[in-house]
Amino acid sequence: MWDFIVERRDDIIFNTYQHASLVAQAVLLATVIAVLLAVVVVRVPALAGVANVVSAIGLTLPAFALIGLLLPLTSIGVVTGFVAVTFYAILPILRNAVVGLQQVDETLLESARGMGMGQLASLWRVRIPLAWPVILAGIRTSTQMSMGIAAIAAYVKGPGLGDYIFAGLVRIGGANAVNYAVVGTVGIILVALVADALLLLLGRASISKGIRAA
């Protein structure tokens, strides 16, 4: 096992980086989309129920099914993986962002307006910072989920560590099959744990001091 890793270390590092980078980019895009959607949803209360239902139905959709649906549109390769991961990453963030933005105390928004803030300023400087801890929790869930979805996307030549898992699968019974599968699986677990730790740190750094718990 050790030799296997040492021999392929460059390749493994490259794939690890690819995996992390795919998830990071997808989650970043998903965060932007989800928060924008949430801002709209919060303004139109009738949409809140719809957003919940869409998000619940979307999360029910199996990843492999979405890949099957996407393939005719995006063909084999990185794009399919990226779109699939982004799609799933949006849902938990959207749900949390809606809840987080709704929870902001109306009186605070009133005071922001009283201080002369416009709609945008009060959104950017009051509402989003107050909702941020909840949004960030959604981002953590999304990131965790995305790791596994990116692994499945490797089946249609998405980038990343999932490749090793499928490389192990086709070699089953042969040399190195277990090595491949273990490197892929454990690698993804490690990337997931590191990503989660980084997001926790991000929370420390970015959550407004006034609302930080203890």
Partner 1 sequence: MTDLADPPQETVARHEPLDGPGEAVPERGARSRLDRSTLLMLVVPPILVAIVFAGYVWWRQTADLDGVEQSQLAWDSTWSALWRHVELTLAASALVVVIAVPLGILLTRGRARLLSPLVVGIANIGQAAPAVGLIVLLAMWRGYGFWTAVIALVLYGVLPVLRNTITGLQGVDPTLVEAGRGLGMSNGAVLLKVELPLAVPVIMSGVRTALVLVVGTATLATFVGAGGLGAIIDTGITLYRFRVMVAGAVLVALLALLIEWLGRLLELLTRPKGL
143, 163 contact by CB (below 8 A):
no
Residues 210, 214: Cα–Cα separation, whole Å: 10
Residue of 5, 28, 32, 56 that binds partner 1 (CB under 8 A): 56
Between residue 90 and residue 119, which ones bind partner 1 under the rule CB under 8 A?
Answer: 102, 106
Q: Note whether 210 binds partner 1 by CB under 8 A.
A: no
Residue of 148, 176, 203, 207 that binds partner 1 (CB under 8 A): 148
Q: Among residues 34 and 184, whose Cβ is nearest to partner 1?
A: 184
How far, CA to CA in Å, does 69 sit from each of 62, 66, 74, 153, 157? Answer: 11, 5, 9, 12, 15
Which of 109, 90, 106, 86 shows the shortest CA–CA distance to 35? Answer: 90
Residues 145, 75: Cα–Cα separation, whole Å: 23
153, 64 contact by CB (below 8 A):
no
Residue of 12, 152, 158, 159 that binds partner 1 (CB under 8 A): 152
Residue of 10, 72, 210, 214 that binds partner 1 (CB under 8 A): 72
Helix residue ranges per DSSP H, 123-161: 128-153
Residues 7, 25: Cα–Cα separation, whole Å: 29
Q: Note whether 193 binds partner 1 by CB under 8 A.
A: yes
Residue of 28, 115, 121, 189 that binds partner 1 (CB under 8 A): 189
Cβ neighbour number for residue 125 with a 10 Å cutoff: 14
Residue of 24, 79, 177, 207 that binds partner 1 (CB under 8 A): 177
Q: Note whether 3 binds partner 1 by CB under 8 A.
A: no
Q: Note whether 203 binds partner 1 by CB under 8 A.
A: no
Residue of 60, 114, 116, 214 that binds partner 1 (CB under 8 A): 60
Q: Note whether 162 binds partner 1 by CB under 8 A.
A: yes
51, 59 contact by CB (below 8 A):
no
Judged by the rule CB under 8 A, the positions of this chain that interact with partner 1 are 42-45, 48-49, 52-53, 56-57, 59-69, 71-72, 102, 106, 144, 147-148, 151-152, 155-156, 162, 165-166, 168-169, 172, 177-178, 181-182, 184-185, 188-189, 192-193, 196
